[in-house]
């Protein structure tokens, strides 16, 4: 009877753990949500999000996703409300870090808690992109002062993250030496190491500073007449993404207007050589009927996180035991075709990519892997020792622990999935009035009518699959022959 009771207990424990909301498949939930978004059914996507988050205690991811879905719908006020909730959660995290960094690191670095059951605090790049996306919402409503506030918050957040990661690195090195864990991600046989060592990942300075965020900051400060503040933004963007003509030109344009360089030949004024003329030159001031516009095209979806099991030899009770351990891997989203050009009034304009969420996500995982390996290894050894001790006393009790361990084993797959993947921009001067933006045929050849009536203006478009979303005061997607592929939902 006692044997049957213990067996039942073991099975019941496993069943309860498997059904626990902490072990939900977040990736599966968001795949369905994003399928609806990619089909243009934004309300259906929102309904799925609500269905999967019925608890009154909403987590950070709920507000991340809701803000982006409402933004796609064109409800910028609702989007900002959701993101303000998220920003408050991130703000509380910042306060806890600044109040006592060592205490925070001790709690987060606990070896006993599986990563996927921890309170979700967001990855560093998500925290920074949150305020960047909030700034874009405000710019869609021509609120440059409001956008300035969010940009300032972005810079302050980056400083908090930078200080925390420096301390975390040192603490992790000490803990790894103390625990005797020397495994690196390159030692994980069967792990896709090349994804973390890709050139676009390794070339990033860190996982959270975005060239787009800093370029946008420069544009906003310039529009507000604060050139001394604009220069650092452009300079940081150029540092994060070197050899990018768009960024170099932005810095040059802050200088005093200058004419094309000339040289004197035989006493006559003549234009300089083709090589010299090809160099960027400062542009003249805007004419009274001109506007300096920044077109921002955000395409695709942030990558998913999956869990992969890798067998590792672990020292358990004096023996080396081959134990399968779970580690996260990045799975890029491929539902949106890549493109590098749009047409403005029939003229092709090249887009410059300033942000890749896939690359930032991989860089975040690359930087986090030493800590993940350390926590996962120590937890597995501790669990293995405890299970062996239980097996020696009561095999069925050991079975219960083994079943529970098998159920709970798995990497954390939570991440902000509706966040745009690529952010591409083009900047140009146009006459004020009506203009037409045309996207490539892979995006349905969608046409967007744009009204330009400000000296500086930002136009933002969102592309998922072959769906094009516009929002704000200036842009409206126009019906086309492929009208099923075009969504234009204006702000209420």
pLDDT tens, 372-391? 998 888 888 877 776 666 56
The predicted model scores a pTM of: 0.86
Side-chain half-sphere CA neighbours of 317 within 13 A = 10
pLDDT recorded at residue 7: 43
pLDDT tens, 453-470? 999 999 999 999 989 998
pLDDT tens, 163-207? 999 988 888 888 888 888 888 888 899 999 999 999 999 999 999
Which range of 5-9, 270-274, 299-303 scores highest in mean pLDDT? It is 299-303
Question: Which has more confidence, 198 or 395?
Answer: 198
* 275 pLDDT tier (thresholds 50, 70, 90): very low
Please say whether the beta carbons of 436 and 456 come within 8 A: no
Q: Is 422 left (phi over 0), alpha (psi -120 to 50) or beta?
A: beta
pLDDT recorded at residue 8: 43
Question: Is the per-residue pLDDT at 79 higher than 70?
Answer: yes
Please say whether the beta carbons of 491 and 77 come within 8 A: yes
Please say whether the beta carbons of 247 and 211 come within 8 A: yes
pLDDT recorded at residue 492: 38
pLDDT recorded at residue 19: 44
Average pLDDT over residues 4-11: 43
Q: Is the dihedral of CA 263, 265, 268, 273 positive or negative?
A: negative
Give the rounded percent of residues in the chain with a pLDDT score beyond 70.
Answer: 80
Please say whether the beta carbons of 107 and 99 come within 8 A: no
Tokens found for residue 364: 């975040």
pLDDT tens, 101-150? 877 777 765 656 677 778 899 999 999 999 999 999 999 999 999 999 99
Alpha-carbon span 230 to 227, nearest angstrom: 5
pLDDT tens, 314-332? 877 777 778 888 999 999 9
Look at residue 243 and give its three-state secondary structure: coil
pLDDT tens, 204-246? 999 999 999 999 999 999 999 999 999 999 999 999 999 999 9
pLDDT tens, 353-374? 999 999 999 999 999 999 999 8
Other beta carbons within 10 angstroms of residue 488's beta carbon come to 17
DSSP 21-83: GGG--HHHHHHHHHHHHHTT-HHHHHHHHHHT--SSS--HHHHHHHHHHHHHHT-HHHHHHHH
Question: Is the per-residue pLDDT at 285 higher than 90?
Answer: no
**pLDDT, the chain, mean:** 84
Q: Where are the domains of the chain?
A: 25-247+293-485, 256-288
């Amino acid at each position: 009877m006692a044997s049957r009771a213990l067996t039942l207990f073991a099975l019941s424990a496993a069943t309860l753990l498997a059904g626990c909301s902490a072990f939900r498949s977040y990736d599966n939930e968001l795949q369905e949500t994003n399928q609806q978004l990619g089909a243009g059914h934004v309300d259906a996507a929102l309904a799925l999000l609500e269905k999967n988050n019925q608890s009154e205690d909403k987590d950070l991811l709920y507000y991340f996703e809701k803000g982006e879905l409402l933004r796609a719908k064109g409800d910028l006020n609702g989007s900002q409300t959701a993101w303000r909730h998220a920003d408050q959660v991130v703000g509380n995290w910042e306060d806890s870090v600044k109040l006592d960094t060592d205490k925070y690191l001790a709690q987060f670095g606990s070896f006993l808690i599986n990563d996927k059951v921890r309170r979700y605090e967001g990855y560093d790049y998500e925290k920074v992109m949150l305020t960047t996306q909030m700034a874009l919402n405000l710019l869609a409503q021509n609120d440059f002062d409001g956008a300035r506030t969010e940009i300032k918050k972005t810079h302050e957040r980056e400083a908090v993250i930078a200080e925390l990661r420096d301390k975390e690195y040192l603490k992790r090195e000490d803990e790894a030496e103390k625990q005797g864990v020397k495994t690196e991600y390159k030692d994980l046989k069967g792990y896709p190491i090349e994804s973390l060592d890709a050139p676009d990942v390794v070339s990033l300075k860190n996982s959270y500073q975005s060239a787009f965020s800093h370029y946008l900051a420069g544009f906003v400060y310039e529009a507000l007449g604060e050139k001394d503040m604009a220069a650092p933004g452009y300079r940081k963007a150029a540092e994060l993404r070197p050899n990018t003509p768009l960024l170099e030109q932005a810095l040059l344009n802050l200088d005093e207007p200058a004419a094309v360089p000339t040289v004197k030949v035989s006493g006559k004024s003549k234009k300089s050589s083709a090589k010299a003329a090809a160099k960027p030159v400062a542009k003249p001031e805007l004419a009274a009927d001109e506007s300096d516009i920044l077109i921002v095209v955000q395409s695709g979806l942030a990558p998913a996180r999956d869990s992969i099991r890798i067998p590792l030899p672990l020292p358990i009770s004096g023996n080396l035991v081959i134990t399968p351990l779970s580690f996260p891997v990045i799975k890029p989203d491929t539902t949106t075709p890549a493109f590098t050009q749009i047409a403005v009034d029939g003229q092709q304009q090249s887009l410059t990519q300033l942000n890749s969420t896939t690359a930032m996500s991989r860089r975040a995982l690359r930087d986090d892997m030493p800590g993940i390996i350390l926590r996962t290894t120590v937890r597995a050894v501790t669990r293995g020792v405890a299970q062996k001790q239980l097996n020696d006393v009561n095999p069925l009790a050991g079975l219960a622990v083994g079943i529970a361990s098998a159920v709970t084993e798995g990497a954390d797959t939570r991440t902000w999935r509706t966040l745009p993947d690529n952010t591409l921009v083009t900047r140009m001067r146009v006459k004020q009035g009506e203009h037409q933006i045309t996207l490539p045929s892979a995006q349905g050849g969608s046409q967007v009518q744009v009204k330009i009536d400000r000296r500086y203006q930002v136009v933002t478009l969102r592309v998922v699959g072959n769906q094009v979303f516009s929002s704000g005061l200036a842009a409206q997607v126009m019906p086309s022959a492929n009208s099923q592929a075009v969504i234009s939902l204006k702000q209420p």
